[in-house]
Structure 1
Amino acid sequence: MKTVTRPRAVVGALGFVAATTLALSGCAPSGSSGGDPDAPKSLVVGVTADVDTLLPWTSTQFQASNVLQNLYGTLTELDDDLTVVPGLAESWDTSEDGLTVTFHLREGVTFADGSAFDAQDVVASYEAIKDEETAAVSATNLASVDTVEAVDDATVQLTLSAPDAALFSKLAVITTAILPSDADLAALETEPNGTGAFVLDQRTPNQSLTLAANPEYWDGEPEIDTVEFRVIPDQSAIVSALQAGSVQMAVFDDKLVADTIGGSVTVAETPQLSYHVLQINSRVAPLDDVDVRLAIACAIDRQEVLDTAALGAGEITGPITSPAFRSDPAARPCPEGDVDAAKEHLAEAGYEDGLTLRAIVNQDGYSTSVAEAENLQAQLAEAGITLEIESLESGSYVDRWVAADFELAVALNGGQPDPDASYGRYFTSTGSLNPVAGYSSDTLDELFAQGKAETDEDARKAIYDEVAAELEDNAAWVWLFTAYNYTATAEGVSGFVPMSNGSLQNLRDVTID
């Protein structure tokens, strides 16, 4: 049997920016102790939108996921190099045939309400995630799991229908968090009960959400006493708050804004696995015609979108952004914008005189969204496609997106280090987010099955190259670019290591001098 066990690495995480108002004052900076070493250490993080849920299994919003990573735990985790390391499971064994995985759980772990964590909590959580009625966004992450059994209080055994090379990476995402076996999901929306490094202290919707250090956290109580996620109208206002000392940390996705910070604030640039994309719902006419989708894809010059919306701060990308499996963006129909080819595809579909489509846009979720939409609108017009833009606030956008209530969606989607973790739930016919993806095929189902079963990395790379080709050749979506996050920390804040998956779970490692 293969056994995996290692100490938890010290890891960092990328923050997020998210919205309402902040009155800047001339009082002592938040987080300062006024010279008293025993005074509470508080970290204030500036964000531009409030969380839309506190239930990890249904979270799709970046802001919510980043808060939840501090409240809940998962069996496995990712370190700052995105390598899988132990979490609530301190080790695991895999049978030679890859069909049985045995997790050995940490003992002495408790939930926020003081109840003990054990194998029954894992069994109940994974069975609930797999249950369609839960509507868990990562149910597909457990698709290869046939049964979950508690061998004893500290041991859980997963029996798989087929080997799954991506399983341990997929169990590290917060949407597979472990909840108490007797959890009341409705109650958890306002009163989280996890095993994370922090617990919910207080919340004022659309203004702030404060977490307090968990003294019973299994890896040791965090150094800082509280973390406040303070909602501020826009990124420029967050810069002002950083300069005034009322905010100690923020993560920007706008290079121009990040470049204005200056002073004693440190800014770290980190490339992201998340990708900017024009999602296409191919289950609605006329987008069910591959020629219409290819017309859209060929009409778009990705570099122009990147240059216009993000000042060129990023890279053109194909579907897979993980460095080990990265897609070649030139291996697609029309790797550069080709209006003539777009018009030919429209004519082939019977739309020689053009057509009108509608796109939803998250106006306050990230800084480049509206600029991306407007540039796409201008480019598509040259090919005879009229794009009507519907700008929505973050909550409304997420609701529409999850319900697949759109023709096109300008989106920023999170990336994962393993392609199956990124796309298995989107582009397999039984994927939990396949209705949102709007596209599947027998070819993709077979390729994803092969990718999960294969353990050789070079062979897996070849399989996911085929996945990317299937997605690009059929214009399932139009992948645009990957960008950077800019993590700003005030003087005296240390221990925070940005990660390329945007995780904020390691606020647990922050110290304030």
Structure 2
Amino acid sequence: MKLRSTLRSSAIRCLAVGVTAALVATGCSSGRSDSKGSASGGTLVVGYTADPNTLDPWKATQFQAVHLLEQVYGTLTQLDGDLNVVPGLAEKWQYGDDNKTLTLTLRKDVKFADGKPLTSADVKSSIERIQKPATAAVAAATVKSVKTVQAPDPQTVVFTLTAPDAGLLAGLATVNLAVLAKDDTSEAIAQKPNGTGPFTFASRTAGQSVKLTANANYWGGKPKVANLEFRIIPDQTSVVSGLQSGNVQFATLDDPLVAKSAEGSGLTVTKTPSLSYHVLQLNSRKAPLDKLDVRLAISCAIDRKQVLDTAALGEGEVTGPITSPAYKSDPNARPCPTRDVNKAKQLLAGAGFANGLTIPTIVSQGEYATSVNEAQNLQAQLKEAGINLEIKTLESGAYVDRWVAADFTAAVALNGGRPDPDGMYGRYFTSTGNLNKVAGYSSPELDELFADGKATTDPAKRKEIYAQVGKLLEDNAAWVWLFASYGYTVTAQGVQGFTPMANGSLQNLKDVSLN
């Protein structure tokens, strides 16, 4: 096995200033060439363990769906390999009016898959539709600061903001804020996506595969492979078997044991630290988790390192709420930095549960590999404190449905991290955040801190603000943060050009070639 570990030191240096620099910048232009490349041909087969549960980018939370839709849809901004904000569909932008207006200039000659040109009217329609509660867009909170959207000419979009928003440009890079054609309906794209990305939708066979074709008109240059197929394979061990047999050429794994087994047969494994975080989500709006001492008891009764070592072979690090290098939380700053079962029992007794209690908990099977092992270890640890974690294992799609509906008391989850803390948690832990129902917790103090974080351009002040956010989340045991792990990219012989990213994005599949 050719094992490479990727951690760009420049990411750590740049993340502290990247978002702020983008906010105060007078303009920005693309650093990449728009010249059209030529495809090397062939089909790149990507091994996938779960069928994407939606083709609507505004509603995608499942990792498999997000990775697929990144290939089909374009966003106004993008993140480069160091997670800095760079141009996407907007080739440049400029702030004005004390950072309360943002003017974006769209690229010329960008087309949707159906051949229609991208214009400012499409951007205006997309943002306004995302903001409507009826759309149920999962990233609606990211554009909450956008008061109005104007389209003075086909290539110009003007956002008027309620206040300066330091995280907006980074937030616009998520596929959850993809630009859709103004005439496309949710019903239409659920059957046939119509985006501006490097690949176009070809076909889908439920439970088997989704096939894409290289977009010859893509503004960033034609992808190097002619076709891209996401093939559904039951588990990660079978995915590796497919790679070794030549039926699959590319896969991402999150099971370190399976990654180790990928040795040999000419496979290359690249290990990349991830911003994603493993967490036991607690819904404090449901009894008995509505009692702070119950939540704190759960937090104090858990040895995070044991969960990491048991479920993920120690491949990762114990984490607090914020995983972005520039704002990383100190996991030792929580109420119980080490496991304290006696304190957990005392807290339970004080909350009226001296004889113990039961917490129904949902767990996904298929979306990521370590979920069930995490749940079982948590169950064993909490039992010693008198807490019965009643595990309900669900297929990935069913889990996501219940998760989005906040139909759970507790949930073992793997959530995607983002380079900016506002984009990461503003939608969860503010009272008006569109995923606050899922988070199950908010407070006036958090509302004020998140508002201050958006409006502040000074990196040091933002770091201080988000340190307070992390402390409030931990002190109130909003959730129980466990660990951040690694992502593993596995490629077969002859596959070249893919650059993994710490946010788990597969946006660089367009650069892959087959020899």
| Deviation for aligned residue 1:39 | 8.5
Structure 2 residue matching 1:189: 3-state secondary structure: helix
Structure 2 residue matching 1:482: 3-state secondary structure: strand
* Alpha-carbon distance in 2 for matches of 1:2, 1:326: 25
- The residue number in structure 2 matching 1:60 is 61
* Alpha-carbon distance in 1 for matches of 2:453, 2:360: 35
- The residue number in structure 2 matching 1:435 is 437
CA pair 379-38 structure 1, distance change in 2 beyond 3 A: closer
Check the 8 A contact 1:140/1:425 in 2, yes or no. yes
Structure 1 residue matching 2:411: 3-state secondary structure: strand
Check the 8 A contact 2:41/2:514 in 1, yes or no. no
- The residue number in structure 2 matching 1:202 is 203
Counterpart mapping for 1:67-466 below 5 A:
67-261=68-262, 262-466=264-468
- Paired letter, 1:355: L
- Equivalent position to 1:3, from 19, 23, 26: 26
* Alpha-carbon distance in 1 for matches of 2:26, 2:119: 21
* Alpha-carbon distance in 2 for matches of 1:481, 1:2: 35
| Deviation for aligned residue 1:162 | 0.5
| Deviation for aligned residue 1:38 | 9.5
| Deviation for aligned residue 1:465 | 0.3
* Alpha-carbon distance in 2 for matches of 1:413, 1:38: 34
| Deviation for aligned residue 1:286 | 1.0
* Alpha-carbon distance in 2 for matches of 1:447, 1:178: 30
Check the 8 A contact 1:2/1:95 in 2, yes or no. no
Post-superposition Cα deviations, 1:122-151, rounded to whole Å, max 9, x if no partner, equal 000000000111010111001111000002
- Paired letter, 1:5: C
Post-superposition Cα deviations, 1:260-307, rounded to whole Å, max 9, x if no partner, equal 112211110000000000000000111110000000000000001001
Post-superposition Cα deviations, 1:397-429, rounded to whole Å, max 9, x if no partner, equal 000000000000000000000000000000000
Check the 8 A contact 1:365/1:394 in 2, yes or no. yes
* Alpha-carbon distance in 2 for matches of 1:506, 1:498: 8
Unpaired stretches in structure 1, ≥5 consecutive residues? 11-36
CA pair 503-8 structure 1, distance change in 2 beyond 3 A: farther
Post-superposition Cα deviations, 1:48-92, rounded to whole Å, max 9, x if no partner, equal 001000000011111000000010001000011100000000000
Q: Considering only aligned residues, what root-mean-square deviation do their CA atoms show, in Å? A: 1.2
Check the 8 A contact 2:489/2:500 in 1, yes or no. yes
Structure 2 residue matching 1:389: 3-state secondary structure: strand
* Alpha-carbon distance in 1 for matches of 2:442, 2:40: 56
* Alpha-carbon distance in 2 for matches of 1:220, 1:38: 9
- The residue number in structure 2 matching 1:27 is none
Equivalences, count: 487
- Paired letter, 1:253: D
Post-superposition Cα deviations, 1:229-251, rounded to whole Å, max 9, x if no partner, equal 11111111111111111111111
Structure 1 residue matching 2:274: 3-state secondary structure: strand
* Alpha-carbon distance in 1 for matches of 2:97, 2:114: 39
Structure 1 residue matching 2:484: 3-state secondary structure: strand
- Equivalent position to 1:474, from 467, 476, 479: 476
User: Is the helix fraction higher in 1 or 2?
Assistant: 2
CA pair 419-263 structure 1, distance change in 2 beyond 3 A: same
* Alpha-carbon distance in 2 for matches of 1:243, 1:181: 44
| Deviation for aligned residue 1:185 | 1.1
Post-superposition Cα deviations, 1:359-386, rounded to whole Å, max 9, x if no partner, equal 0000111110000000000011000011
Post-superposition Cα deviations, 1:187-239, rounded to whole Å, max 9, x if no partner, equal 11011000000001111111011110001111111110001111111111111
* Alpha-carbon distance in 1 for matches of 2:303, 2:427: 28
Check the 8 A contact 2:39/2:225 in 1, yes or no. no
* Alpha-carbon distance in 2 for matches of 1:428, 1:462: 18
- Paired letter, 1:443: E
- Paired letter, 1:511: S
- The residue number in structure 2 matching 1:23 is none
- Paired letter, 1:330: N
- The residue number in structure 2 matching 1:18 is none
- Paired letter, 1:397: Y
Q: Which runs of 4+ in 1 moved over 6 A?
A: none
Structure 2 residue matching 1:386: 3-state secondary structure: strand
Structure 2 residue matching 1:399: 3-state secondary structure: helix
TM-score by length of 1: 0.94
* Alpha-carbon distance in 1 for matches of 2:288, 2:379: 18
- The residue number in structure 1 matching 2:8 is none
Check the 8 A contact 2:47/2:232 in 1, yes or no. yes
* Alpha-carbon distance in 1 for matches of 2:213, 2:78: 21
* Alpha-carbon distance in 2 for matches of 1:431, 1:4: 29
Q: Which moved more, 1:476-485 or 1:40-49?
A: 40-49
Structure 1 residue matching 2:488: 3-state secondary structure: strand
* Alpha-carbon distance in 1 for matches of 2:133, 2:489: 37
Check the 8 A contact 1:9/1:79 in 2, yes or no. no
* Alpha-carbon distance in 2 for matches of 1:450, 1:136: 24
| Deviation for aligned residue 1:96 | 5.0
CA pair 380-496 structure 1, distance change in 2 beyond 3 A: same
1:493 is the counterpart of 2:481: no
Structure 1 residue matching 2:450: 3-state secondary structure: helix
Structure 2 residue matching 1:397: 3-state secondary structure: helix
- Paired letter, 1:364: G
TM-score by length of 2: 0.93
Check the 8 A contact 2:500/2:508 in 1, yes or no. no
* Alpha-carbon distance in 1 for matches of 2:283, 2:195: 36
CA pair 353-117 structure 1, distance change in 2 beyond 3 A: same
Structure 2 residue matching 1:3: 3-state secondary structure: coil
| Deviation for aligned residue 1:497 | 0.3
- Paired letter, 2:267: V
| Deviation for aligned residue 1:6 | 2.7
